[in-house]
A and B are shown apart, each in its own frame.
Chain A
Amino acid sequence: MTLAPDAVARPTIPELIDEATVEAIAGEAWVALVGEDEVLVPLPADLPAETLSAWVDVVGPWTGSVVLTTGRQTAADLTRALLGQAAPELLDHEDVADAFGEIANVVGGNVKAALPGPSTLGLPQVGEAPDVRNPADVCRLEVLWRGQPLVVSVQGALPALSTPHPNPPHPNGASL
């Protein structure tokens, strides 16, 4: 049997980055974006039934997605923490998608910088997490924020995703 050239040449994510690096990147993003006293505690816990995911695609020598998943209420709490005093009294879905997407963008951008390049970064997307295509090509970090579970998954996409268009219309509307 002959493997396709792509399968031979492309490294999987555990060969490129480890959980500790992803944890450091996410932790730094949390302190800067969410608040100085906001820490991520590396403890696994079950996600609630109602979850929301935000992710960015990375296309390059390694191709995949950096996906953040948490409960919908936790995503709303994150939005309030991110916006601070600028948070509206009533958050709508666009507020949450925008803020959660931006956190994924910051974490994803810094994960991309830790990977072999050059790579391109897609625009943030929010919704139901993309499927894991290859369980061997995943770096999964489970943490607690304010006691609530959150998962950061750096997951490969085989076959490769197409290169993101440099200026596509925003997947979640102009407000993201």
Chain B
Amino acid sequence: MRALVIDDSRAMRRIVSAALEGFGYETRQAGHGQEALDVLQEGYVPDLCTIDWNMPVMDGLQFVSAVRANPAWRALTLMMVTSESEQGQIVRALAAGAHEYVIKPFTADALRDKLALLGMLPEEAVL
């Protein structure tokens, strides 16, 4: 399975990528929503996108809306991974089309649990 990790912090991209790779994912990274859209438009279509909220150029909510506006990307699973933890923000993200919401700080186990709920854990991580 493939994941695109979208976060403006290099450190956080490394942390999320390392956790996902530990579960068996292949990962790519993008520093903001527009860069992630460029990756998708190049033809790299992952199974999962993890998306920070507050980023320069294009934020996570705008990215989710852009993905949901394109039927070609309907199968993408979108997971917000963000320090935005107000209830209203969570509702906005889910209403825009995100499937799941992980609040920073998180542990690898919490991320794994959310992926399991979505049925997005690669087989080797389930066994």
Contact = CB atoms under 8 A, between A and B. Distances in A.
Q: Is the interface of A mostly helix, strand, loop or mixed?
A: helix
Interface stretch (A42-50, A114-122, A147-155): A114-122
A160 interface: no
B10 A98 contact: yes
Interface residues of B, number: 27
Interface stretch (B43-51, B68-76, B82-90): B82-90
Contacts of B54: 105, 121-123
A167 interface: yes
Contact of A167 (B9, B14, B15, B58): B58
A82 B10 CA distance: 11
Contact of B84 (A32, A86, A121, A169): A121
Contacts of B31: 174-175
A36 to B, nearest CB: 8
A28 to B, nearest CB: 6
Contacts of B62: 167
A24 to B, nearest CB: 12
Nearest to B11: A99
Nearest to A33: B105
A117 B14 contact: no
Interface in B28-52: 31
A146 interface: no
Given A86-B18, A169-B56, A32 B85 contact: no
A109 B12 CA distance: 15
Given A86-B18, A118-B88, A121-B54, A170 B8 contact: yes
Contact of B104 (A86, A109, A124): A109
A79 B10 CA distance: 11
Nearest to B34: A167
B107 interface: yes
Nearest to A166: B59
A117 B15 contact: no
Contacts of A29: 104-105
Contacts of A86: 14, 18
A99 B12 CA distance: 8
Contacts of B12: 102
Nearest to A107: B83
A109 B88 contact: no
Contacts of A33: 15, 104-105
Given A28-B105, A32-B106, 17 more contacts: A29-B104, A33-B105, A102-B11, A105-B104, A106-B105, A108-B83, A109-B83, A110-B105, A113-B85, A121-B54, A121-B83, A123-B55, A167-B57, A167-B59, A169-B56, A176-B9, A176-B10
12 contacts: A32-B106, A105-B9, A105-B104, A109-B82, A109-B84, A110-B83, A113-B86, A118-B88, A121-B83, A123-B54, A169-B56, A169-B57
